[in-house]
Amino acid sequence: MLSNKTCSAVRTAINALQHYKVLNTLTNDCFDKALETEQQLSNEQKNNSPLYGRPILIKDNYCLQDTYTTCASKMLANFRAPYTSTIVQRLIDSGCIIVGKTNMDEFSMGVASWGVFGPVGNPWSVKKATNIDEQNSKKLLHVAGGSSGGSAAAVAANFVSIALGSDTGGSVRNPAARCGCYGFKPSYGLLSRYGMIALVNSFDSPGIFTRSIDDLILTINAIAGPDGEDATLLSKPFEQFQTSTELLKEKKKITIGLPDEYDINKLSSEYRSCLQHLVSQLTETGEFTFKRVQLPYTPYSNAAYTILSSCEIASNMSRYDGIKYGHHTNNIDENKDTYEDILRKTRDESLSERVRGRILAGNYYLLEENYEKYFVQSQRVRRGVTNDYTKVFEEDKVDCLLAPVVSDDPITHAEYEQSDTIFTDDDIFTVGANLAGLPALSFPVQVSSKGFPIGLQLIGPFLQDQALLSIANRICSTYKFPFLDLTKQD
């Protein structure tokens, strides 16, 4: 039987999500189903899963059978998934209770989690300001990062302790750093992508938000492993990760690389000082050493990522024509309109300018006359980025890299609305791990002078995910971050 504390977890999560609707963390709720599931679990014999009875949230690009899966787009506003994502199903099988689907950038394209349902608010804004309403929210609420901002905000606010996101170029690590929680992007191929709506197949990775490394490990252990539905998944059996208590027993001295290329001019003095202070603090323990390393292809990584992602987006988005599923225009002249006319009208009505722009750019790069100088050249850069990482791990003998995730505090929704930002200078910190398929973890370090969390990230060698989490666990045990908890705030 579930304890009273566990039985109340779903209701507590629902109350918090309803009370803080201003943060706009959800696209669709599963409240009734969650309460029903909780009651069913309470009447059943408890299984051995440590996740049994835990309320969770999933980003709205994960399929959940018979539930709206919208990708925060008008195109899929009425789409009910006919099946459930592999990793979502594994969480359900472990006893997790899905409370809702979280808000995001439309089709995961953006850095503010601002789609057709409006923007996600940064929960630290609520701590800073009171009496936020629809009239003043854009001036008082700050961006939560993207594209998985709804999941990050909900975990950071302690509405739930675990949520799923997806990371294509930093879409888990960026909002985790903005909101103040852990955000993990595993090695490419470690977690099944089946049932996660694709943005860029060769970059996409399921991601996890938590408030502790223990919960990260528990979640990975529940969802990793071979899946016949995903041909890109590693075929070998998954070996369960050790708990943080077991990880702390390892006392090997750690060598961490500090890439010169990530020390960009835009990095604010406070964020640079945060990194430098952590390096000094860890050095004093005697358990860590640091060395400068070089990643020569990093300055070209943003351009390569932009081109390659746009090309795959153009291919993936071709399925959204309004014929098989999704929004279909009613503005049709049956005597005149061709299929191309109907497609154009459908997309004009249901896809944002940003999404249509990425499709247009991708098709441009793939034109016969452009293919070699854009797509092929970007693939060469991608190989160079991968080789850079291999060199620092194998030849420079570093166990992982320490780097920023974002360069400064978040801006308000009003300020973001005035910008045309799709890609930012901060992408240079995050896209490399996706280009190379490496594991990376964003973790909170301190609170800025303006009252927002400052997060850093660790990047590790391919398939050394457990080793990376072990290092992170040792680092985070040297200080105490003041996690936000809006459930205890009046």
How much is the pLDDT for 490? 57
How much is the pLDDT for 1? 35
| 470 flagged as catalytic | no
Domains of the chain: 9-271+402-476 (3.90.1300.10)
| 147 flagged as catalytic | yes
| 236 flagged as catalytic | no
How much is the pLDDT for 5? 43
CB-based burial, 25-50: b 16+ in 10 Å, e otherwise: bbbebbbebbeebbeebeeeeeeebb
Q: How far apart are CA 200 and CA 375, in angstroms?
A: 14
The pair phi, psi for residue 142, each rounded to 5°, is: -105, 160
The ranges of the chain with pLDDT < 50 are 1-7
How much is the pLDDT for 48? 81
How much is the pLDDT for 422? 57
Do 465 and 212 touch, CB atoms closer than 8 A? Answer: no
From the candidates 108, 113, 161, 171, give the one annotated as an active-site residue.
171
How much is the pLDDT for 341? 94
From the candidates 85, 108, 137, 147, give the one annotated as an active-site residue.
147
Q: How many CB atoms lie within 10 A of CB 287?
A: 14
How much is the pLDDT for 129? 73
How much is the pLDDT for 338? 93
Q: Find the helix or strand (DSSP H, E) in which 255 lies.
A: strand 254-259
